[in-house]
Amino acid sequence: MKRTSLIAATVLVALIGASCSSEPEGPSEITLMTHESFAVSDGILEQFTQETGIAVTVLRSADAGTMVSQAILTKDHPVADVMYGIDNTFLSRGLDNALFLPHTATDIGSVPDGLRVNGDPVTPIDFGDVCLNTDPTRLAAAGIEAPATLADLADPAYAGTLVVEDPSTSSPGLAFLLASIATFGETGDYPWQSFWADLAANDLRIVSGWDQAYYGEFSGGSGEGQRPVVVSYATSPAAEVFFGDLDAPPTDIVDDGCFRQVEYAGVLAGTQAEKAAGQLVDYLLSRTFQEDIPLNMFVFPANDTASLPDLFIDYVPTPTAPVVMDPATIGANRERWLAEWASVVR
Amino acid sequence: MRSRRSLLLIAAIPVAYLTYFYAYPLATILITGLFPDGKLAASSFVDIVTNPVVRSVAWFTLWQAVVSTLLTVLLGIPGAYVFAKYRFPGRSLLRSLTLVPFVLPTLVVGVAFLAVFGPGSPLGFDLRGTVWAILIAHVFYNLSIIIRGVGVFWEQIDPRLEDAARTLGASRIRVFREVTLPLLRPAILSSAALVFLFTFTSFGVILVLGDLQHTTLEVEIWRQATAFLRLDLASALAILQLIGVTAILVMYGRAQKRVSGGLPLRPPGEVARRPASVGEWAVVGATLTMLLLIVITPLAVLIGRSLSTAEGVGLSHYANLIHPTGAFTLFISPIEAIRNSLGFALPAVLISGIIGLLSATIVVSGRGRGGSTFDTMLMLPLGTSAVTIGFGFLVALDQPFDLRSSLLLIPIAHSLVAIPFVVRSTVPVMDAVQNRLREAALVLGASPHRAWREVDLPLVARALAVGSLFAFAISIGEFGATSFIVRPSTTTIPIAIFRLLGRPGTFGEAMAMAVILMAITAVAALGIEAIRGSRTGGV
Amino acid sequence: MLEVSDLTVRYGAEIALDGANLVVADRSIHALMGPSGSGKSTMLRAIAGLEHPDGGDVRWNKTSITDVPTHRRGFGLMFQDYALFPHRTVAGNVAFGLRMQRLDADTVRARVTSVLDLVGLPGYETRSVGTLSGGERQRVALARTLAPRPRLVLLDEPLGALDRSLREHLLIEMHSIFAKVEATVLYVTHDRDEAFTIADQIAIIRDGRIVADDTPEGLWHNPPDVWTANFIGLENLCTLAGLARLGLQPPMTGATAGAVPPEAITLATDGTRSGIVVGSHFRGGAYRVELDVGTDAFLVAWSPIGLEPGAQQRFEIAAGSVRWFAD
């Protein structure tokens, strides 16, 4: 028995020892904390290392909400130097908890004013629109027009057509809820709650995540389901063309009730390498990185000098008036809105 | 009997391990959550106790877990019986396939279930949004726990006990009720406890198949911790969940009455035989049909999806993964994903094998001296919310070594879930090893350590193999728990599937990746079957 | 009365029983003896209904029971290592068969008490079977088998696992118990002494066939063939050549071997034959003496006094005492 225990102890010590030696230390290495959907082409981060001599370790978390919660929990002793991927629906939470050191990126002048945050606590890196996607084939077969506005969906003619994501578990779900709140308002004859009550009465389907909504319930594109209207992204039709090797998008978007999601990067307070962290944020906003974004993450670069791939130019529609909501407003009301939403649709 | 001193020495390792990697992080995060400004946020308890939504979630969590467990046991026992007692063509393959659901990411299972039990169901009923979808998915996931956990014990029970009962006038059903079932009781309770903990803390299945009414405490904790950042509420809910789990485990501990004396175990090869009569073939046939429907059909659906391309049936989704061209150069190669997955799975198996076996030894040797309590405590990590432990790692494991972003944390997290499997599958067999055998070895001149290695270990080896297989499956398929750990970018197979499912147009590739995961699991399970087969004569 | 006719059981290509025939009379103790692998356990299992025969018939009182399931046959089977239920107490084990007959609890309790008395374990009801000694386990197994008053008691090497003195003691006890309850018994053993001590009738099984079936005396004095004679331990079994050297010739043609009963050999200084003493061992009451009577031929005889190895010894063989075998 004694020998076995000894072996076990040795293995443990060896394992722990190994992990310690792999721990990144020193100013020539910094750590980037990001969410699960982060994707870049090979060589992009290596190019940053070549230019600056700073190596980057990427740490992945789950969704943006989990990532922000984790950063808040480790505020005093952060696991990373830079966070990328916090969006406008979670930003106020990060700001309220003083997660970031202000940093003005070198290329910030190329970012449209609407995306910038006052005082530059964080730097906008990319944006995208959450929009309703439709399946024209299915709608035509059913003899109904594609909805033109959000309000149309409350019409009994659209009964059983819509699938949305739960806003408390899904980021596009939350974006769509926010778009509906901005569209119908909190007061008046037909506030957002009434709209959702009508949707619920109209055989609304709610699922917990985008993939279940799109692949499981949506009938268009690569979806396998039965419903012709889904909450997805403005870039989804283009992605269908790209991955499906198609000539034309199989799906459309509805040019109403789109919500603009902006993702930011920031230097985490408590970093031991503030300067290097700032350099990485600068790099994330540089043209090299910005032009790599669209085909990897299917969002638009925040730097408007970055050129777009043909796919985006040809197939990604730009919503005329996407909802843009102040992060502070979202932060202040989010919990109440989610609770009200749940009680309306439950 | 091992001396008290050496027992304490053996106990020190697993106790230290579980204290540092489970109890300490858990306590730290709960304290962080409940004492936001150094003061107890007592209101959060009031909030959850008075909140009718929490009450209904807690109630649903409990009853769905109880019903799921009962259904799994009910359907798993015939499976365990057929695999333990009969030889038939395809037995090893089929038994290996029953493990495959265990590793599948819930997102993928959602797809398969929608196809089998959704609107286009070949069975003709749409179970979406009903609690049946959740219950069936839980059975699908956990059936192999019963089939293997009970089967490994069943195939070693001396069939003469059943013969004796028959000559005393008991019908086959009576024999089962009066002899077999009581003998299997420890193994059934053990496996059922695991299934209960899995379903009580169900997360992925609930997200994919549940809805606002049908949700568990686990999902609610996650929602509070990540969507609302109400760590106080999340902690209070986590404590509520722990209370529930502890209560159930205490009941389990009481029910787990030990079989008196040693049970005469037989080498399993001696017991299994071909079905002889029409009746036996009918039992085997009916059971296999049930397995086919619940387990194999959803798997077949996934394979079908992975082969279905724009041009009909083909391998283009696999080709896109293996030789990416055009748009698909963005994806990780399956080879690399497999390598990464194995890189986590092997240390996870090693750690849980060692810690699990040591723990099982304490449980068995320490009966009446706290061993049984330890046994019950070992299962707590399985019943603890994954998001809570993930956050606990972050706040607790920064000193003396900063392990928070260490790759090692992933196999450690897996081991917390896997250790109970190793313990649960080895303890019933260890309990049944007669002291006489051990004493025989001692008399023959073996040192106590040698006796353990030469007598206990070979007898336990098969059960250990089963436990390790589960540890492997847990690690290779695990996604939920590790997603709450910040980790260096290492794409495992489940993460690759998740990312492929995260954008339009790559559904087929996600399914192909899932089939690759299924294949690896089946191969691992078949490998274990082969080892077990060759050992048959040696026990 | 149990009748087994042409019973055949195959395990795949292997033939365990090859047309075995046996009759067990009511209230008799019938031993079934054979070397290991001869099919004796299979025979018991087939009679109990645990093994379905591939051919032949099992009848009880002239009625075929081949297709009657085990639990309806009303036979009791006691296993070699007892197969006591580890999850039940002594009383739980003994009562099992009674409960299967749906007897009421009081009857069961009374019967358990009386059977435990019968096997010499009064007051053992609440003991756990894990705490019993080997002899006690054997008695519990016997009690469990006898409690439901089986029409036929089948015993599979019931004393195999016990030490010699306990075995002899229990054998006598079992004999008196069977007599007391007037049981019909089929007793499987490989031990000659056991069979000869307890049985009214002994059947010998070899390679799945019954090759002899007789009373102990009949079997001993008239074994049907050399193999049986050898198996039951007949001494001084010699070839014709060996016997011819002693001046003994078969009375009939076709004989292949003969046996000289040790008690037919008288050691005497005026004996007509002689041999060299190679061994002399005290066996309580008399000495067992081995004599070398020529090339590789030995005879065993009994002597009231010890003899010196190496010494020449003359002896006489009683006329007509040699048993001749013709195979």
Q: Which residue of A has its CA nearest to B401?
A: A20
pLDDT tens-digit readout, C245-263: 888 888 887 888 888 888 8
Q: What is the pLDDT of residue B330?
A: 58
Q: What is the pLDDT of residue B277?
A: 79
- Whether B264 is covered by a domain: the verdict is no
3-state secondary structure of B373: helix
- Whether A157 is covered by a domain: the verdict is yes
CA C84 to chain centre: 23
Which parts of chain C fold into alpha helices (H)?
A: 40-48, 90-100, 105-118, 134-146, 164-181, 192-198, 216-221, 226-231, 240-245
H helix or E strand, kind and range, residue B106: helix B106-117
Tell me the residue range of the domain where A30 lies.
26-126+262-315
Interface test with B, best of C75, C85, C88, C112 (most B CBs within 10 A): C85
- Asked whether the predicted pLDDT for residue B447 surpasses 80, the reply is no
- A110 and A158 fall within a common domain: no
Q: Of the candidates B175, B176, B173, B155, which has an alpha carbon nearest to the alpha carbon of residue B165?
A: B175
3-state secondary structure of B334: helix
The arithmetic mean of pLDDT across residues A55-62, rounded, is 90
Task: List b or e across B187-225, with b for residues whose CB sees 16 or more CB atoms inside 10 angstroms.
Answer: bbbbbbbbbbbbbbbbbbbbbbbbbbebbbbbbbbbbbb
Shortest Cα distance from B285 to chain A (angstroms)?
33
- Asked whether the predicted pLDDT for residue B127 surpasses 60, the reply is yes
Which of the residue ranges A195-209, B255-269, C227-241 has the most confident prediction, judged by mean pLDDT?
A195-209
Average pLDDT, rounded, for chain B:
83
State the total domains in chain A.
2
Q: pLDDT higher for B129 or A343? A: A343
Q: What is the pLDDT of residue A306?
A: 96
Strands C209-214 and C201-206, bridge-based pairing:
antiparallel
Q: What is the pLDDT of residue B536?
A: 38
- Asked whether the predicted pLDDT for residue B3 surpasses 80, the reply is no
- Whether A220 is covered by a domain: the verdict is yes
Determine whether the interchain pair C75/B167 forms a contact, defined as Cβ–Cβ distance below 8 Å.
yes
* Calpha distance A169→B151 (Å, rounded): 39
Shortest Cα distance from B79 to chain A (angstroms)?
31
* Calpha distance A182→A162 (Å, rounded): 19
Q: What is the pLDDT of residue A7?
A: 46
Query: Do the two chains B and A touch, given a threshold of 8 Å on CB pairs and at least 3 pairs?
Result: yes
- A162 and A304 fall within a common domain: no
- A193 and A251 fall within a common domain: yes
- Whether B263 is covered by a domain: the verdict is no
- A218 and A329 fall within a common domain: yes
- A151 and A176 fall within a common domain: yes
- A230 and A180 fall within a common domain: yes
- A65 and A179 fall within a common domain: no
Determine whether the interchain pair B486/A80 forms a contact, defined as Cβ–Cβ distance below 8 Å.
yes
* Lowest-pLDDT range of A166-180, B133-147, B253-267, B350-364: B253-267
Q: Please give the structure tokens belonging to residue A66.
A: 């989990």
**Cβ–Cβ under 8 Å, residues B485 and B409:** yes
- Strand order from edge to edge, sheet including C185-189: C75-78, C152-156, C185-189, C29-33, C201-206, C209-214
Confidence tier at B260 by pLDDT (50, 70, 90): very low
Q: What is the pLDDT of residue B174?
A: 92
CATH number at residue A215: 3.40.190.10
Confidence tier at B446 by pLDDT (50, 70, 90): low
- A286 and A181 fall within a common domain: no
Determine whether the interchain pair B169/C74 forms a contact, defined as Cβ–Cβ distance below 8 Å.
yes
- Asked whether the predicted pLDDT for residue B534 surpasses 60, the reply is no
- Asked whether the predicted pLDDT for residue B18 surpasses 60, the reply is yes
- In this complex, the residue of A9, A72, A216 whose CB is nearest that of residue B13 is A9
- A210 and A341 fall within a common domain: yes
- Strand order from edge to edge, sheet including C312-317: C265-267, C312-317, C273-282, C287-292, C298-303
The arithmetic mean of pLDDT across residues B425-440, rounded, is 69
Q: Which residue of B has its CA nearest to C146?
A: B168
- A133 and A250 fall within a common domain: yes
Confidence tier at B443 by pLDDT (50, 70, 90): low
Confidence tier at B537 by pLDDT (50, 70, 90): very low
CATH number at residue B243: 1.10.3720.10
Q: What is the pLDDT of residue B160?
A: 87
Q: How many CB pairs under 8 A join A and B?
A: 200
Q: What is the pLDDT of residue B328?
A: 61
Determine whether the interchain pair B223/A168 forms a contact, defined as Cβ–Cβ distance below 8 Å.
yes
**What residue type is C235 in one-letter code?**
E
The residues near B292 (Cβ < 8 Å, ≥ 6 apart) are none
Q: Please give the structure tokens belonging to residue B501.
A: 């499912």
DSSP secondary structure, C49-69, as one string: TSS--SEEEEEETTEE-TTS-
The arithmetic mean of pLDDT across residues A16-30, rounded, is 51
**Cβ–Cβ under 8 Å, residues B146 and B195:** yes
Main-chain phi, psi angles of B459, to 5 degrees: -70, -35
3-state secondary structure of C7: strand
Q: Please list every residue in chain B whose beta carbon sits closer than 8 Å to the beta carbon of residue A2.
A: 6, 9, 449
Question: Prior bond to B400 cis, omega within 30?
Answer: yes
Q: What is the pLDDT of residue A23?
A: 39
Q: What is the pLDDT of residue B439?
A: 61
pLDDT tens-digit readout, C271-322: 888 889 998 888 888 899 988 887 667 889 988 888 888 888 999 888 788 8
Confidence tier at B112 by pLDDT (50, 70, 90): confident
* Calpha distance C38→C18 (Å, rounded): 10
State the total domains in chain B.
1
pLDDT tens-digit readout, B187-231: 898 889 989 999 999 998 888 888 777 889 999 999 888 888 888
Q: Please give the structure tokens belonging to residue B256.
A: 């787990």
Q: What is the pLDDT of residue C296?
A: 67
Tell me the residue range of the domain where B50 lies.
4-258+269-307+316-538
Residue B400 CB neighbour total at 10 angstroms:
7
Q: Of the candidates B406, B381, B415, B417, which has an alpha carbon nearest to the alpha carbon of residue B486?
A: B406
Which pTM was predicted?
A: 0.83
Q: Please give the structure tokens belonging to residue C59.
A: 């009848």
Q: What is the pLDDT of residue A13?
A: 44
Domains assigned to chain C: 2-224 (3.40.50.300), 237-325 (2.40.50.100)
**Cβ–Cβ under 8 Å, residues A217 and A223:** yes
- Whether A13 is covered by a domain: the verdict is no
Q: What is the pLDDT of residue B457?
A: 72
**What residue type is B202 in one-letter code?**
S
Q: Please give the structure tokens belonging to residue C5.
A: 């006719």
The arithmetic mean of pLDDT across residues C30-58, rounded, is 92
- Asked whether the predicted pLDDT for residue A287 surpasses 60, the reply is yes
- A201 and A97 fall within a common domain: no
Determine whether the interchain pair C50/B167 forms a contact, defined as Cβ–Cβ distance below 8 Å.
yes
* Calpha distance B352→B421 (Å, rounded): 9
Q: Which residue of C has its CA nearest to B160?
A: C83
Determine whether the interchain pair B174/C71 forms a contact, defined as Cβ–Cβ distance below 8 Å.
yes
Q: Which residue of A has its CA nearest to B36?
A: A73
Residue C103 CB neighbour total at 10 angstroms:
16
Q: Please list every residue in chain B whose beta carbon sits closer than 8 Å to the beta carbon of residue A8.
A: 13, 354-355, 358
Interface membership of A206 toward B (CB under 8 Å) = yes
ipTM: 0.83
Q: What is the pLDDT of residue B532?
A: 62
**What residue type is B265 in one-letter code?**
L
The arithmetic mean of pLDDT across residues C179-194, rounded, is 92
- Whether A52 is covered by a domain: the verdict is yes
C-alpha distances in angstroms, B435 versus B154, B364, B365, B452, C163? 20, 11, 11, 11, 21
Shortest Cα distance from C69 to chain B (angstroms)?
8
Q: What is the pLDDT of residue B135?
A: 93
- Asked whether the predicted pLDDT for residue B448 surpasses 70, the reply is no
- A182 and A323 fall within a common domain: yes
The arithmetic mean of pLDDT across residues C178-203, rounded, is 93
Determine whether the interchain pair B183/C87 forms a contact, defined as Cβ–Cβ distance below 8 Å.
yes
The arithmetic mean of pLDDT across residues C78-104, rounded, is 90
- Whether A329 is covered by a domain: the verdict is yes
pLDDT tens-digit readout, C202-217: 999 999 999 999 999 9
The arithmetic mean of pLDDT across residues B415-435, rounded, is 81
Q: What is the pLDDT of residue B228?
A: 82
Query: Do the two chains C and A touch, given a threshold of 8 Å on CB pairs and at least 3 pairs?
Result: no
- Asked whether the predicted pLDDT for residue B535 surpasses 80, the reply is no
The arithmetic mean of pLDDT across residues C29-36, rounded, is 94
Interface test with B, best of A34, A208, A345 (most B CBs within 10 A): A208
